[in-house]
Amino acid sequence: MSKKQPDEHKKLLLIALENSMGIVTTACKEVGISRDRFYAYYKTDENFRQSINDINDIQLDFVESQLLKNIAKGDRASIMFYMKHKGKKRGYTDSVDITTNGKSLDTNIRVIFIDGNKSDTSPEKDD
């Protein structure tokens, strides 16, 4: 394989990825190469990798803009998604983070299963 062929593949892949909003499978099919070959290029060519990362950032920007449009329209699911991810420090979350001055608390939790008058530290096995 000549040096020109991989370089040509990479150029065509970048165009195809822009057209497909960063969807690798679609771009590879359009160019006629395997996903394995794509990821080999990505792994070994810093310039190609940076170009792919730039396309992925553009894709993320596009999706974020669509999310914000949905929020502006009052879409509840979009609002909740945004607040769960961007509003965590204001308490919009499904989980609780227990910390002290930014450090995790050292906790040991012991579960005791009680069966009648008997106390045990492990669950009974179903027979």
- With vertex at residue 121, the alpha carbon angle to CA 118 and CA 125, rounded to the nearest 5 degrees, is 80
- On whether residue 30 sits in a domain, the answer given is yes
Q: What is the pLDDT of residue 87?
A: 87
Closest CA to 12 of 27, 34, 26: 27
Regions of the chain short of the pLDDT cut 50: 1, 119-120, 123, 127
Q: What is the pLDDT of residue 116?
A: 58
Domain extent at residue 40: 4-68
Query: Looking up tokens 């099919």, which residue turns up?
Result: 29
- On whether residue 21 sits in a domain, the answer given is yes
pTM of the entire structure? 0.63
Q: Which helix (H) or strand (E) holds 100?
A: strand 99-100
- On whether residue 116 sits in a domain, the answer given is no
- Tokens for 122, please give them: 């492990």
Q: What is the pLDDT of residue 88?
A: 80
Alpha-carbon gap, residue 9 to 55, rounded angstroms: 16
Q: What is the pLDDT of residue 98?
A: 64
- On whether residue 121 sits in a domain, the answer given is no
DSSP one-letter code for 102? T
Q: What is the pLDDT of residue 31?
A: 95
What's the number of domains the chain is made of? 1
- On whether residue 83 sits in a domain, the answer given is no
